[in-house]
Structure 1
Amino acid sequence: MPLGFTPVNWQARIDEDTTKITWVQDLQQGFALLYQGRVDALDLEYFVAQYASVNTYPNRALVLDLTLPHNEIPFSLSSLSQKDVIQELNAFITSNPDLIKSIRHKYAITPYSQLLNQLIEQQGLKHEEVWK
């Protein structure tokens, strides 16, 4: 688990002593532990994990295990004192749909509902087997 993140979805498993958290300084340290077999999994946002793993370990694919705790975490920006930055970013996104579409394509970012259905099929799961 990267330092600074809270394992909210894993808390029940931690409390039951069925999951142990190993804290890491950065993604590279997490990937190193994973590929050395020193940890069983990484808790990362799906698209960040895919992008980082391809660039760090191009021959080692990661899989989102839908039976483990996970959720969709949309990217967002908030500020109490920089409201103009938020407005500017919102205007930029609204004014540049083609650029946003190309960024989504470049980084293979798909809507969670589409990704979920794709992964359920790939993993041969039923909807009720997906962690909720």
Structure 2
Amino acid sequence: MQVFHSIRLALLASFAGWLIQCPVSAAEPDSQPIPTYSVVVQDIDYYPIYKADLASNEYSGYLRDLMDAFAAAEAIRFEYKVRPVRRMIWEYTRGLYDFALPDHPNWNKSEKLGMELSYSPPLLHFADGLYVLRENAGITREQMADYGTIHGFTPWKFQDRIDQGNVELITASSPENLVLMALAGRVEVINLAAPVAEYHFRNLDATGRFETAAHLLPVSLSSYHLSSARHPDIINALADFLEQNPEIPQQLQEKYRFPALPSGD
């Protein structure tokens, strides 16, 4: 596990070595500063994929490690700006930041209307599904009375039924709280990415308590991307980095104990 834990440090050390060998002293007036780019991120705890905290402006998890590895390889720096979800979208579409993470071509289409955005290849593919307690595994779509998700996430999977009043939307501030609510019987059906669900099931000693509810909604694959309206060149460089270094995301996924994708995908 040590090799997985030290991936980012090794890449940063390599970058530091490059700086030391550089023949131009940092004190010389013609030395070039490290190019620095702003990345706006959601104020959401979706660990281990990502975790952002507005109060401390800290950002961590798989996406952060992967971006740091890319930045070290390119000799650039990313500065992460944590913003509430709706504020993030509003500010990003008005040009306040260089990049948004995570993003997806299908997200916030009306807000992005007229923007020429470049998207990276997927930084992560993951299974996205519904979970119920094992004792509720037989619930049918007709019996489904609620839908639990993270505050700020769009409940598009059941939006029609929520709008019609047939399903109650219940939100939690974090995946941990959502799982605890389900264990306490305060919500019956919850939606989480598989890496996030399994991480919290382990931490809350709830492994084996939940089952996927594919009969309510088939498990689907989702993906996260980096987007930019200003720097398609960096997006292209990230695409090259992912293609040339497939072992890095793989090792990071092993480090964070991401589950395998469903067979056949």
TM-score by length of 2: 0.37
Q: Does 1:17 align with 2:165?
A: yes
The counterpart of 2:226, out of the listed 73, 77, 87, is 77
Cα drift, residue 7 of structure 1: 0.7
- Find the counterpart in structure 2 of residue 38 from structure 1: 186
Q: Give the structure with higher Rg (CA).
A: 2
Residue in 2 that maps onto 1:101: 250
Q: Is the 8 Å Cα contact of residues 104 and 110 (structure 1) preserved in structure 2?
A: no
| RMSD over aligned Cα atoms | 2.5
Distance 1:18 1:39 in 2: 15
Measured in 2, the distance between the counterparts of 1:73 and 1:42 equals: 16
The one of 41, 47, 68 equivalent to 2:216 is 68
Q: Secondary structure, in 3 states, of the residue corresponding to 2:242?
A: helix
Change (3 A) 1:109 1:115: farther
- Give the TM-score of the pair, scaled to structure 1: 0.68
Partner of 1:22: helix, strand, or coil? strand
Distance 1:52 1:82, change over 3 A: farther
Deviation at 1:76, TM superposition (A): 1.8
Query: Which of the two has greater helix per residue?
Result: 1
In structure 2, do the counterparts of structure 1 residues 76 and 30 end up closer, same or farther at CA, with 3 Å as the change threshold? same
Aligned to 1:125: none
**CA separation in 2, counterparts of 1:27 and 1:19?**
20
Which amino acid counterpart does residue 3 of structure 1 have in structure 2?
Answer: H
Quick check: 2:179–2:200 contact (8 Å CA) kept in 1?
no
- Tell me the equivalent position of 1:8: 156
**Equivalent residue pairs, number:** 114
Q: 1:57 to 1:115 in 2, by over 3 A?
A: farther
* 1:30 shift after superposition: 0.9
**Residue ranges of structure 1 left out of the alignment (5+ in a row):** 117-132
Which letter maps to 2:241? F
